[in-house]
């Protein structure tokens, strides 16, 4: 995805000190969150309630675990670089080493190989804390949108609660950053995503005003971004945005992205209150109001997403709209 870089814009990247939500500065902090969701799709949280001790331990055990996986990655790296240097297109490859921990509806921690007891215990505690923070963020978004508390959590729940898990990633040094990205540009399919990232090695970028902008690494911060499903539920008020991870010739970047997603059978649709509000506004402006997105089952969207993840989101929404229309006329 060839876009210009805009490093200066990262200086104004939205950062919220959550302690201000308990003070007379709450209104200003809530406005920063609201503006970030509308205009950035990302924001960064400080003093979010997850202890520094836990985050430091998560970072320590994750980096130690990946040190044990280096040899396996080196085999992949050698093949990729050899192919790229011979002229093959390796832009459909991601320079990352990952594994996925499922937390809800049922944990797979006990089933994952090569994790020691300490890592499992630390990740279990981290998952509990990050889940609580995700639900707190959802309620902050409800407040900003004028929705009743708990609406977004319920909208994502389905019949058995949300799907929740963490992608644990390492982005090792790459001697040829011009050949391959760490992770190709995409939007996230689900609800709300909370990222604990390396504060020493940068690489995460998002699209802002037609240019790539750095997401600044900050010590013990949690980065939040909006997924496709929240864009639908908010009727486009809040938007998911394209983002990517660049490779670097030095530094090994750690990333733990936790995805608070709808349950597989959750029916996703724009919140009626937001549709009505948009309709009233557009009617006053002489435009036609209504739902800007279709109603669909999350699992159906995911079946489409896995085939088109690294493409623009709009055709996915259009495909779901066409499916909904065909069902309605059948």
The string of DSSP codes covering 4-45 is -B-GGGGGG--EEEGGGGGSTTHHHHHHHHHHHHHHTSEEEE
Kindly report the number of other CB atoms within 10 A of residue 185's CB atom. 21
Residue 239, domain member (yes or no): yes
Domain that holds residue 251: 15-271
Residue 102: per-residue pLDDT: 96
Residue 247, domain member (yes or no): yes
Q: Is the pLDDT score of 287 beyond 50? A: no
Residue 288, domain member (yes or no): no
Render pLDDT for 77-117 as a digit per residue (tens, 0 to 9).
888 888 888 777 778 889 999 999 999 999 999 998 889 89
Residue 284: per-residue pLDDT: 45
Residue 38: per-residue pLDDT: 97
- pLDDT top residue among 3 and 165: 165
Residue 86: per-residue pLDDT: 77
Q: Is the pLDDT score of 10 beyond 60? A: no
Q: Give the span between the Cα atoms of 316 and 322, in whole angstroms.
A: 10
Residue 286, domain member (yes or no): no
Residue 1: per-residue pLDDT: 58
Q: Could you give the dihedral angle defined by the CA atoms of residues 50, 51, 53 and 55, in that order, rounded to the nearest 10 degrees?
A: 20
Q: Is the pLDDT score of 191 beyond 50? A: yes
Residue 102, domain member (yes or no): yes
Q: Give 6's pLDDT tier (boundaries 50, 70, 90).
A: low
Render pLDDT for 60-82 as a digit per residue (tens, 0 to 9).
999 988 887 887 888 888 888 88
Section 219-234 average pLDDT:
98
Using a pLDDT cut of 90, give the percent of the chain over it: 76
Q: Is the pLDDT score of 283 beyond 50? A: no
Residue 78: per-residue pLDDT: 87
Residue 285, domain member (yes or no): no
Task: Please list the residues that pair with 222 across neighbouring strands.
Answer: 45
Q: Is the pLDDT score of 286 beyond 60? A: no
Q: Is the pLDDT score of 279 beyond 50? A: yes
Residue 41, domain member (yes or no): yes
Provide the domain count of the chain: 1
Q: Is the pLDDT score of 5 beyond 50? A: yes
Section 293-322 average pLDDT:
96
Render pLDDT for 135-144 as a digit per residue (tens, 0 to 9).
999 999 999 9
> Quick one: DSSP state of residue 231?
H
Residue 141: per-residue pLDDT: 98
Q: Is the pLDDT score of 285 beyond 60? A: no
Beta strands (DSSP E) in 105-235 are 163-171, 183-186, 192-197, 204-208, 211-214, 222-226
Residue 297: per-residue pLDDT: 97
Residue 31: per-residue pLDDT: 98
Lowest mean pLDDT: which of 67-76, 220-229, 312-321? 67-76
CATH code, 236: 2.60.120.330
Residue 195, domain member (yes or no): yes
Residue 120: per-residue pLDDT: 94
Which pTM does this prediction carry? 0.92
Q: List phi, psi (to 5°) of 23.
A: -125, -175
Q: Give the span between the Cα atoms of 90 and 28, in whole angstroms.
A: 45
Q: Is the pLDDT score of 168 beyond 70? A: yes
Section 317-330 average pLDDT:
81
Q: Give the span between the Cα atoms of 71 and 222, in whole angstroms.
A: 30
Residue 3: per-residue pLDDT: 65
């Amino acid at each position: 995805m060839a876009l210009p870089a805009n490093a200066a814009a990262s200086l104004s990247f939205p950062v919220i000190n959550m302690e201000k939500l308990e003070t007379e500065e709450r209104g200003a902090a809530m406005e920063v969150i609201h503006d970030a969701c509308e205009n950035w799709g990302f924001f960064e949280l400080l003093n979010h309630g997850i202890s520094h001790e836990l985050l430091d331990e998560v970072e320590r055990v994750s980096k130690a675990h990946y040190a044990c996986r280096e040899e396996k990655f080196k085999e992949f790296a050698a093949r990729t670089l050899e192919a790229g240097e011979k002229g093959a297109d390796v832009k459909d490859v991601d320079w990352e080493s990952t594994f996925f921990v499922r937390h809800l509806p049922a944990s797979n921690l006990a089933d994952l190989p090569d994790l020691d007891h300490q890592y499992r215990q630390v990740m279990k505690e981290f998952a509990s804390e990050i889940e609580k923070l995700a639900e707190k963020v959802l309620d902050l978004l409800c407040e900003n949108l004028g929705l009743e508390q708990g609406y977004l959590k319920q909208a994502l729940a389905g019949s058995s609660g949300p799907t929740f898990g963490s992608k644990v990633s390492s982005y090792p040094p790459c001697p040829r950053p011009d050949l391959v990205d760490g992770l190709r540009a995409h939007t996230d399919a689900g609800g709300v995503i909370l990222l604990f990232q390396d504060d020493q090695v940068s690489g995460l970028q998002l699209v802002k005003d037609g240019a790539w902008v750095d997401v600044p690494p900050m010590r013990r911060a949690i980065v939040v971004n909006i997924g496709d499903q929240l864009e639908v539920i908010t009727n486009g008020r809040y938007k998911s945005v394209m983002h990517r991870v660049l490779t670097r010739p030095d530094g090994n970047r750690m990333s733990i992205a936790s995805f608070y997603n709808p349950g597989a059978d959750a029916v996703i649709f724009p919140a009626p209150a937001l549709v009505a509000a948009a309709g009233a506004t557009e009617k006053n402006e002489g435009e036609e109001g209504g739902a800007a997105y279709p109603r669909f089952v999350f699992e159906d969207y995911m079946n489409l997403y896995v085939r088109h993840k690294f493409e623009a989101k709009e055709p996915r929404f259009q495909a779901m709209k066409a499916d909904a229309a065909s069902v309605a006329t059948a």
